[in-house]
Structure 1
Amino acid sequence: MIAGTPVAAQVPVPVQVGDRAGHDNMLQLVQLRWLAVAGQLATILLTQFAFGIALPLVAMLGVLAGLVMLNLASIALMRRRRTITNGELFGALLLDVAALSAQLYFSGGATNPFVSLFLLQVVLGSVLLARWSSWALVVATSFAFALLTAIYCPIVLPAGFDRSLFALHIQGMWVCFALVAVLLVMFVTRINGNLRAQDAHLVAIRRQADEEEHIVRIGMLASGAAHELGTPLSSLSVILGDWRRIDAIARDPDLVRDVEEMQAEVQRCKAIVTSILLSSGDARGEQSAATTVRALFDRVVADWAAARDFVHARYHDAFGPDVPIASDVVLQQAVFNLLDNAAEVSPGGIDITLARIDDSLTLSVRDEGSGFAPDQLANLGKPYNSSKVELGRGLGLFLVGNVARKLGGTLAAHNLSDGTGAEVTLRLPLVAISLADDHG
């Protein structure tokens, strides 16, 4: 009287079109269907050969073969597309209902105690599907149950089973109850876990949106300040040029030297303002230029060391064969921020290592400071995450992390095991900064 274990869909959350979770849910359904096929095969063979209850083996094994083909088709679908719709999941559950109905048809219909497994399909549908498809599944299972009360293949019991028929039915009901209870606990536990993971993902998305809004505000303020500073800096440059032509200043070498130093500082300020104005646009905009990994980072590290007058930067190039990429101001500024952060805590020296891991470049910066506090490591990449109390501190690694995220990379940090400092690693996929990506 046992028809076998049910074919049940285990999909953690209701899925909308384009939801990446749909792909994972279908994958779980495929995995569970393999288990269901194995369980049904074992149950059918046990019923046939251990209990001596004759079953239509060819037909029931044919249903299992159909489930195998369904799984292979589902795997092919997941390889072609990365999203699974509510309709596709509804179709999968309907096929599970059809498979269970077929197995019950060949093993006693509604007289089989395992007919209660239809309730499991209804529970899953109510949790996993949209409202219309949940009710459609209720109609489908109710119709299948009603049909099995009138149309089914009776089971022919061996001699001696007639006297214990009711006891056998009760035993089957108990096995069905235990099976449904175990499956529901397993499903609901996994559903709750996936719902918690989805909530955490939504929280992360909201936090990222808030951070990006914060970056936009910073960019707008920086761009506005740069525009405002442009005019006074130009005026200062003109005034200093006029001063150099004054006879009293021209005849005094000390004053000439002071004016030249002031002109150099004004030019430096103008260069910084120009860089801010360029960076306020798209991170991969018209300021990009063709270069290579080695040429870019060699130049950026050298420019940073010269601009900061930092002579204790030890640069190691372990990248390997060079790769053509697109250079842009924002990426260079991110590297500047990364190096600034290390040099500030380790004025005695920093180690900079450029390397390649698979299809990504890594820039590791190791300092000789006191390391990160545990809460700083836990909140790496968040704004104002700094041990310094000055207003505006803690934006350096925040901006580096956002540049890395925009380019599909990561920013990681850890304290050295010997307590001699910390290491921050920027990883960027080469495809994100390749010439093909930039101009394609």
Structure 2
Amino acid sequence: MPLNYMPLHSSKLTPIFMVLSLRTIAIIIQIILLLFVHFALHYHLPWFELMVVIFCEIVFTFISYWYFRKKQHVTKQALSWQVIADIVFLSALLSFSGGATNAFVSLLLIPIAISAVTLSAPRLFFVAFLAIASYSVQLWLMPMSVMHGNMEGHFIAMWINFLFSALVVALVVGRMAINNRVKDKAIAQYREEQLKQEKIISLGVASAQVTHQLATPISTACMIVDELKEDNPSSELINDLQTELQRCTDSLNTFRQMVFDIKEQNTYLISATKISSDIKDYIALNHPELLLTTLECDEGDDKKVQANSSLLPAIINIVNNAIRATQANYSQHIEIKTHHDDSNLYLEIRDFGKGFSQEKLAQLGVQPIVSEQGFGMAVLLSHSSFERLGGELILTNHGEKGAIATVSLPLVLP
């Protein structure tokens, strides 16, 4: 969910309804105070003008509630306009009830406090500027008859006090709110990472169990094939079956070695040319029908990255996904490009499939998802392998056709 949107329907009071609720309470208090001052204290206030302002405030609040109750998301801009409306209504009420001499003029600090908690820094300071400007204009428009004796200095001191209070609220409360938002975001990211690691561990445990269960039947099958080959040494079918079983055995041994290296944190240096060469060998051996286009780093400027046993299988997983996407779109062409900058090596694998939807782009590599080809587990595991090596996997759609998987790995500087 983008950061500039807020969910409206939740178990907690959302900022927009917090503003509307506070304004509703304020309207009730305004009406009670107006009636008390008029009938109990017998102050002669512009009753009609004040009631018009309160009526406009009630209508605006009702329309806002009716409009936002059907909204799933509320923008920060919409919340900003609500806070600005509070300043306008409060300024209008103050202007008809004494202006800067009104004891409730300090209520202009409330919109600043709300903005400090809910809005970004630029919008916060704009609201603070409006509140200070409202106070300043009302002080400027005060009649000279009020400024007798030492009252002029008193009102100026009140304005300075309000200015200082507004700045303190905007800076201190705003800074605390920003720190809390950053902390909440970090906690949310940590929880997401923990959930992701739990899924990866579960997949690893399942893979280890499957590997252990397959080892015995594969060994038994190899023994049976060896016995069949003794009886029929010239059978091509038995030779092909023996070759495939040997590939299964090699894959199991590679998996065991990979688990051991990851456990012992064994690493080694590998060059960009070696990575590209291994990919080409894999494609030539397993997919000779493919048309592979490669653009590699110059051999004289070959860079090295830190690797472990999981790096090449992780890259092969991405290559296999690209091959499946390409063949599903009735194509036999993929492109692989390696290049680097001062700090990273980049491996771009482009397929000529149908590309990804925006929903899948947001989920691939973060959690398993259901698709026609599987559950996206290969991408999830590959993404985790790259992260352990300090790299990352970025999936994007190509502007013309297909998708691009970009693997970035930090270079080992000489």
Q: Same fold, TM exceeding 0.5?
A: yes
1:42-73 CA distances to partner (integer Å, 9 max, x unpaired)?
A: xxxxxxxxxxxxxxxxxxxxxxxxxxxxxxxx
Specify which structure has the bigger relative contact order, considering alpha-carbon pairs within 8 angstroms and separated by 6 or more residues: 1
Contact in 1 for aligned 2:349/2:404 (Cα 8 Å): yes
Contact in 1 for aligned 2:351/2:402 (Cα 8 Å): yes
**What is the aligned partner in structure 2 of residue 148 from structure 1?**
none
Contact in 2 for aligned 1:314/1:350 (Cα 8 Å): yes
Report how far residue 228 of structure 1 moved: 2.4
SS at match of 1:245: helix
1:248-270 CA distances to partner (integer Å, 9 max, x unpaired)?
A: x24xx4xx101100100100111
- Say if 1:283 and 1:165 are closer, same or farther in 2 by CA, change over 3 A: farther
d(CA) in 2 for partners of 1:301, 1:285:
29
**Quick one: which of 290, 293, 296 aligns to 2:272?**
293
Is 2:242 aligned against 1:263? Answer: yes
**What is the aligned partner in structure 1 of residue 369 from structure 2?**
385
- Please say which of residues 333-342 and 183-192 is displaced more in the overlay: 183-192
**What is the aligned partner in structure 1 of residue 286 from structure 2?**
307
d(CA) in 1 for partners of 2:211, 2:382:
21
Within-5 A mapping of 1:111-260: 167-246=152-231, 249-250=232-233, 253=234, 256-260=235-239
**What is the aligned partner in structure 2 of residue 316 from structure 1?**
295
**What is the aligned partner in structure 1 of residue 378 from structure 2?**
396
- One-letter amino acid of the counterpart of residue 212, structure 1: Q
d(CA) in 2 for partners of 1:310, 1:331:
25
- One-letter amino acid of the counterpart of residue 333, structure 2: G
Contact in 2 for aligned 1:360/1:427 (Cα 8 Å): yes
**Quick one: which of 258, 267, 274 aligns to 1:279?**
258
- One-letter amino acid of the counterpart of residue 386, structure 2: A
SS at match of 2:293: strand
- Please say which of residues 230-239 and 317-326 is displaced more in the overlay: 317-326
**What is the aligned partner in structure 2 of residue 349 from structure 1?**
333
- Say if 1:309 and 1:217 are closer, same or farther in 2 by CA, change over 3 A: farther
**What is the aligned partner in structure 2 of residue 422 from structure 1?**
403
Contact in 1 for aligned 2:272/2:338 (Cα 8 Å): no
d(CA) in 1 for partners of 2:287, 2:296:
21
**What is the aligned partner in structure 2 of residue 56 from structure 1?**
none
Q: What's the TM-score once normalised by structure 1's chain length?
A: 0.55
1:374-403 CA distances to partner (integer Å, 9 max, x unpaired)?
A: 101122312223532x6x521122112212
**What is the aligned partner in structure 2 of residue 131 from structure 1?**
none
Within-5 A mapping of 1:399-410: 399-410=381-392
Paired residues in the alignment total 264
d(CA) in 1 for partners of 2:307, 2:186:
32
- Say if 1:201 and 1:382 are closer, same or farther in 2 by CA, change over 3 A: same
- Say if 1:212 and 1:203 are closer, same or farther in 2 by CA, change over 3 A: same
Contact in 1 for aligned 2:338/2:346 (Cα 8 Å): yes
SS at match of 1:382: coil
- Please say which of residues 290-299 and 346-355 is displaced more in the overlay: 290-299
**Quick one: which of 347, 362, 371 aligns to 2:346?**
362
SS at match of 2:360: helix
Identical amino acids, percent of aligned pairs:
24
d(CA) in 1 for partners of 2:200, 2:242:
32
d(CA) in 2 for partners of 1:332, 1:277:
15
> Please, which runs of 5 or more residues in structure 1 have no aligned partner?
1-122, 128-162
SS at match of 2:296: strand
Contact in 1 for aligned 2:257/2:309 (Cα 8 Å): yes
Within-5 A mapping of 1:35-184: 167-184=152-169
**What is the aligned partner in structure 1 of residue 13 from structure 2?**
none
- Say if 1:298 and 1:382 are closer, same or farther in 2 by CA, change over 3 A: same
d(CA) in 2 for partners of 1:191, 1:272:
54
Contact in 1 for aligned 2:261/2:309 (Cα 8 Å): no
d(CA) in 2 for partners of 1:360, 1:374:
27
d(CA) in 2 for partners of 1:312, 1:284:
38
Q: What's the TM-score once normalised by structure 2's chain length?
A: 0.58
1:288-307 CA distances to partner (integer Å, 9 max, x unpaired)?
A: 44542312332233224423
Report how far residue 352 of structure 1 moved: 0.6
d(CA) in 1 for partners of 2:403, 2:398:
5
- One-letter amino acid of the counterpart of residue 316, structure 2: F
Contact in 2 for aligned 1:377/1:413 (Cα 8 Å): yes
- Say if 1:269 and 1:311 are closer, same or farther in 2 by CA, change over 3 A: same
d(CA) in 2 for partners of 1:181, 1:382:
43
Report how far residue 200 of structure 1 moved: 2.2
Alpha-carbon RMSD = 2.7
> Please, which runs of 5 or more residues in structure 2 have no aligned partner?
1-112, 118-147
Report how far residue 340 of structure 1 moved: 0.9
Report how far residue 208 of structure 1 moved: 0.9
- Say if 1:357 and 1:164 are closer, same or farther in 2 by CA, change over 3 A: farther
Report how far residue 343 of structure 1 moved: 0.7
- Say if 1:402 and 1:196 are closer, same or farther in 2 by CA, change over 3 A: same
- Say if 1:193 and 1:316 are closer, same or farther in 2 by CA, change over 3 A: same
Contact in 1 for aligned 2:290/2:334 (Cα 8 Å): no
**Quick one: which of 319, 324, 332 aligns to 1:339?**
319
SS at match of 2:355: coil
1:340-391 CA distances to partner (integer Å, 9 max, x unpaired)?
A: 1111110221111111022100111111111110101122312223532x6x
Report how far residue 204 of structure 1 moved: 1.5
Contact in 1 for aligned 2:335/2:349 (Cα 8 Å): yes
